[in-house]
Structure 1
Amino acid sequence: MARKTLTRWMTGVCLAAGLAMPAAAETLADALAGAYNTSGLLEQNRAVLRAADEDVAQAVAALRPVLSWSGDISRNYGETRSAITGNYTGSATDTASIGLVASLVLFDGGNNRLSIDAAKEAVLATRSGLVSVEQDVLLRGVSAFMEVRRAIETLALRQNNVRVIGEELRAAEDRFEVGEVTRTDVASAEARLAAARSLLAAAEGALAQAREEYRASVGRLPGSLQSPSSLPRIPATADQAKAIALRDHPDIIQVQHQVAAAEIGIAIAQTNMSPTVSLRGTYGYDESFDSEAGTRGGTVGLNFSGPIYQGGQLSSIKRQAHASRDQSRAALLQLTKSIPQAVGNAYANLRVAQAARAASDEQVRAATVAFRGTREEATLGARTTLDVLDAEQELLDARNTQISAVVDETIAAYSVLYTMGQLTTEDLALNVPRYDPAEYYNLVKSAPVQSRQGEDLNRILKAMGKQ
């Protein structure tokens, strides 16, 4: 009961003093969720994916009948010269017509159906591209979070350094007054304090820049950031990670679909040389305003067409399709080399960062012992103020190295996931609303006009603010 009363009293004091209770520390997962939810780059590429989905709908529509209408109102006038009298007689007639035209392609060598397959491959490639963008967004979020952590801890270190050197300066001045040290010791302390203040100003600027980068990548300014308690799980060896990357990396999957689309493009170029057969029907009504005469009727027929000579254009298109296929294949081959290399480099960077962190821990331990010993010896007159400042500077450098080593190790670990293609919201199990790339596609793939499906599509577009 006494503890509850004390807690309530302290809360009341804080509120009365206008102080806010400390908010819960923000974790790396919170920052990544913010980066995912507020990324304009992701929104941009989702729109690119929806545009690719519509290419499938347009290719499907090409297989369906096309129905159109046309209308015309005209006035015809002129003069006729009589052969007997030689006089001109004027005349004018007003007519109106309206008609319907329906057409359906019966045979085009498979061009339209191949176009559907190519559009589907383009959709799958664009989906993988969206995953790559998601990885970029999350890696930037990791870097922004850890750089703010680095800047905050470095700033605290610089502030403490200014405080400690200030105390050393005051102690040197007191000892100078009693004749224990020379003016040189005081000047050395003054120089170190000026340098420490300069580094403090630089640390404040670095923190300001890190906060702006955090806001740009996460969507808000950072609050109290909690250091990650552990690193993400990664394969034990680089070879295992390389095998995963070659199988699952979105860049490789994207180019694989681009190769498939390019192969289909060659077949499409070949069908351009095939004949086309279409069914065409018309129905119309014509009427003259100057009389009660009117006609109506229609036609039904088959139309046949095909290329004979087009100046070599079709052959050029076919050669171009082969070149595009070769380009995509070469890009895929290059990725199968560069991505494993990136994985190997990421593992090397991680090992270096881990070794640097272990060494920095030992360096901080040893520098702490040395600084404390030097300071005690200085109080006994066995060391000078400059010796104490040197020892304090070594400890500061060691702690700064330790801070950077922890940050570099975390970024390096997430970079390994990035090069593997597994830095995604799904692989990280982030608590975010997942974007389903198939939802929009399933609604438009059959090219709906007005139906239950069309209503569902309109609802989704309104929810996304696109209508």
Structure 2
Amino acid sequence: MGRQAVTYKLRFGTAIVAIFIAASAQAETLTDALIGAYKNSGLLDQQQAVLRAADENVAEALAGLRPVVNYTMSAGYGGSSVFTATTTDTWSLSASLGISADITVFDNGQTKYAVNSAKENVLATREALVSVEQQILLRAVSAYMSVRSEVQTVGLRQNNVRVITEQLRAARDRFEVGEITRTDVAQAEARLAAARSNLAAAQGQLARAREEYRNAVGRMPGNLAQPPALAGVPQTEQAATQFAERNHPEIRRAQRLVSASDLDVLRAKAALGPTVGVSAGVQLGRERDGAYGLPTNNDTDTRSQNLSITLNQPIYQGGRLSSLIRQAMARRDQQRAGLHIVVHDIRQNVGNSYADLRVARASLAASREQVRAARVAFEGVREEATLGARTTLDVLDAEQELLNAQNDLIDASTQEYVAYYSVLSSMGLLTADYLNLGIQTYDPQAYYNLVKDGPVNRSSQGQRLDRVLRALGKE
């Protein structure tokens, strides 16, 4: 289950210390958010439980060639009465104790195929756990960047309201001295109302982003630090696609399911073959005759034992076994087709994520230039308006263009980060281990090692398993 080492490593920055009104506190980093998402995800806990259940299937399959031992105990009391000239009562008290053992010594390979199929399903479920982990971490990245984006947007909207409020005050002063008309004042008033409406909308979006963050990370966001600089990705989409085809957990999972389905076909065919079983048993009994079970000299002790070997092979079962073989073959074909679909989907996801990253980076470069130019234009128009060469509407339009450019820059920066981590996810690399989050992650091998041999509760291994379950809070 080890993963191929790659050179596309992330380097997370150190935490940024933010100064507040009367104290200082450490800002929450993207790494902190990812750790919180990993530790607090109910979805991850759910998938880990699914994996533990799959582990148990190996022990259950292995039991097919192990002995089954049972004991039986019984006790009875009964009697009869004979009515003649005198009444004769006959009563007896009986008890028995028996122990039996049955074992299948040969089943034409059915158990072997069942065990190997269960192991393949365990490996497939482990890959499913990795896929869930990727989903959780990508959602945390998106939530983190969304909160930062909305916080910046709210700040822009608040500043916009302040700027337009000052412009409205200046417009009213100029109207009082007759420099502009009442129309100019009305235009400023309309823009201020729109700015306040946009601020309320931005605050609402921020509240929604904060709730998404709490859901994804497990707590409400604090002061979020600037995310770390992005590391490199493969230079070509082709290289990333080839890596994903070898390492993506969804492809690995589909491959394991195909292997399991092949083994299920062999198991179904093996059911047509013979099986050999051995049975042994011992039974002890005592019977006491006498009126109402009272002691007599007629107490009888019995003991019986048996040992038998059985050869069994089906001849005709109404077509059931043949149907099971065809069913297993159909499910194998289903898994093979599923693997084909998954491979194409992963290839498409890699291409889409690379396209999104290219678009985001191009938009980011263009937005920076747009902000620079819009700021120069706004300052120029505002200066010209003080000289009477521009109208109030011209100033408001220039200010709105600058605001739009700043919003576009915020969105482009957010999209670049989300697209970058989407590239990692499409390659199968968005995991806690690869990101080097520095936390203890779930070890799927540990639980499997405890249960793969089918320990019983009274064994030392079973007691260790009980301690593990208590630590997990599952018992």
Q: Identify whether the pair has TM-score above 0.5, normalized to the shorter chain.
A: yes
Match for 2:69 among 55, 67, 92? 67
Output the amino acid matched with 2:263: I
**Alignment correspondent of 2:10:** none
**Superposed displacement of residue 33, structure 1:** 0.8
**Inter-CA distance 230–453: structure 2 relative to 1 (3 Å threshold):** same
Distance 2:261 2:382 in 1: 73
Q: Is the 8 A contact 1:96 1:287 kept in 2?
A: yes
**Superposed displacement of residue 460, structure 1:** 1.7
**Superposed displacement of residue 95, structure 1:** 1.6
Asked if 1:465 corresponds to 2:452, the answer is no
**Superposed displacement of residue 182, structure 1:** 0.4
Output the amino acid matched with 1:135: Q
**Alignment correspondent of 1:216:** 215
Asked if 1:315 corresponds to 2:315, the answer is no
> What is the correspondence of 1:51-450 to structure 2 with a 5 Å cutoff?
51-78=53-80, 91-290=90-289, 291-449=298-456, 450=458
Output the amino acid matched with 1:333: H
- Counterpart of 1:140 in 2: which secondary structure? helix
Q: Is the 8 A contact 1:356 1:405 kept in 2?
A: yes
Distance 2:444 2:375 in 1: 55
CA-to-partner distance for each residue in 1:306-329, whole Å, 9 max, x for gaps? 222211111000000000000000
Distance 1:398 1:243 in 2: 38
Question: 329-338 or 363-372, which moves further after superposition?
Answer: 329-338
**Alignment correspondent of 1:456:** 464
Match for 2:39 among 37, 40, 62? 37
Distance 2:339 2:25 in 1: 49
Output the amino acid matched with 1:359: A
Distance 2:175 2:89 in 1: 125
Distance 1:118 1:200 in 2: 59
**Alignment correspondent of 1:8:** none
- Counterpart of 1:62 in 2: which secondary structure? helix
Distance 2:76 2:334 in 1: 55
Q: Is the 8 A contact 1:56 1:445 kept in 2?
A: yes
Unaligned runs of 5+ residues in structure 2 are 1-18, 290-297
Distance 1:428 1:243 in 2: 21
- Counterpart of 2:389 in 1: which secondary structure? coil
**Superposed displacement of residue 32, structure 1:** 0.5
**Superposed displacement of residue 77, structure 1:** 4.0
- Counterpart of 1:466 in 2: which secondary structure? coil
Asked if 1:27 corresponds to 2:29, the answer is yes
| Identity %, equivalent residues | 54
Distance 2:92 2:355 in 1: 89
Q: Is the 8 A contact 1:273 1:314 kept in 2?
A: yes
Output the amino acid matched with 1:47: A
CA-to-partner distance for each residue in 1:419-467, whole Å, 9 max, x for gaps? 1111111111112112111011011111122333223222222221122
Output the amino acid matched with 2:65: L
- Counterpart of 1:434 in 2: which secondary structure? coil
Distance 1:229 1:175 in 2: 48
Q: Is the 8 A contact 1:258 1:328 kept in 2?
A: yes
Q: Is the 8 A contact 1:37 1:432 kept in 2?
A: no
Output the amino acid matched with 2:464: D
**Superposed displacement of residue 26, structure 1:** 1.1
Distance 1:429 1:78 in 2: 82
**Superposed displacement of residue 71, structure 1:** 1.3
- Counterpart of 1:26 in 2: which secondary structure? coil
CA-to-partner distance for each residue in 1:129-165, whole Å, 9 max, x for gaps? 0000000000000000000011100000000000000
Distance 2:396 2:255 in 1: 61
Output the amino acid matched with 2:25: A
Question: 31-40 or 18-27, which moves further after superposition?
Answer: 18-27
- Counterpart of 2:234 in 1: which secondary structure? coil
What's the RMSD between the two structures over aligned residues?
1.7
